[in-house]
Amino acid sequence: MNPQNLLLRERELKKRWAYPYRWGRTQNNLFDAQTRFVYTEPTFEPLLTELERRFASTPEREALFDYALNRWYNFWSARAVEEIFAALDGVTPAENQRDRLVDFTLNGVRFDHKTSVFPRGFGHDLTYAVNHPTALIEWLYREQSQEQRRHYANRLFLVLYAADGAHWKLKAELTWLSGILRDYVATFDAARLHRFKFTAEQETLSDIIWAIHV
């Protein structure tokens, strides 16, 4: 991802900060179907216009607005992160962009990528999580979406933590995240990956890339 495009995407994502970040409900197929259009609109003002056009007169307007804004924000942030990865030496993007199990190959290891805010439900603080990464990885796999993304394939978790508790805002800090990802890839060693047997049929390789803002 070239620097100019990175800055443009970062600018659009940060416009989301002006609105409350709330889900109000767990991910579900019904709301997914009604908000799928967010995947085709990378800029924020046209997104708001489309939200008004579709949902202004519906009884669930506020819930659909929140849900759509969050899906838009998460999708375009994740897309940017994948593009940052793809531009780094040693990373090969997946040939099939619709493959939900593989986003890219890093030094010969195929990975799905998942950006996650530090989870409140984990039950431990940041210090514990940093010192016990396998415990957090197991929790993240166990608590992953029950909808389209559930799987036990190899995954790199980019985990965001902000000292002020606004972890979600870090998804828009693309310039900052690009430096963290560059450093991770430059020192990547497959021998240091965490290995799991979530199912009898396969071994899962995973790791956490920490993005901590204090």
Give the tens place of pLDDT for each residue, 108-162.
Answer: 999 999 999 999 999 999 999 999 999 999 999 988 755 555 688 999 999 999 9
What pLDDT does 196 receive? 96
Q: Is a pLDDT exceeding 90 seen at residue 176?
A: yes
Q: pTM value?
A: 0.91
Cα 155 vs. chain centroid, distance in angstroms? 11
**Mapped to the 3 state alphabet, what secondary structure does 168-190 carry?**
HHHHHCHHHHHHHHHHHHHCCCH
Check residue 145 and give its pLDDT: 56
CA nearest neighbour of 136 among 144, 213, 184, 150: 144
Q: For the chain, what's the residue count?
A: 214
Phi, psi angles (nearest 5°) of residue 92: -120, 120
Taking CA atoms, 202 is separated from 60, 94, 152, 174, in Å, by: 42, 20, 8, 33
Mean pLDDT for the chain overall = 92
User: Cβ of 66: how many Cβ atoms within 10 Å?
Assistant: 19
First to last CA, the chain: 26
Question: Can you tell me whether residue 10 is helix, strand or coil?
Answer: helix
Residue 185 or residue 95, greater confidence: 185
pLDDT tens digit string along 79-107? 999 999 999 999 999 887 666 689 999 99
111 DSSP β-pair partners = 104
pLDDT at res. 150: 66
Q: Are 208 and 118 in contact (CB under 8 A)?
A: no
pLDDT of residue 30: 82
- The confidence score (pLDDT) of residue 185 equals 98
Rounded Cα gap, residues 101 and 84, in angstroms: 18
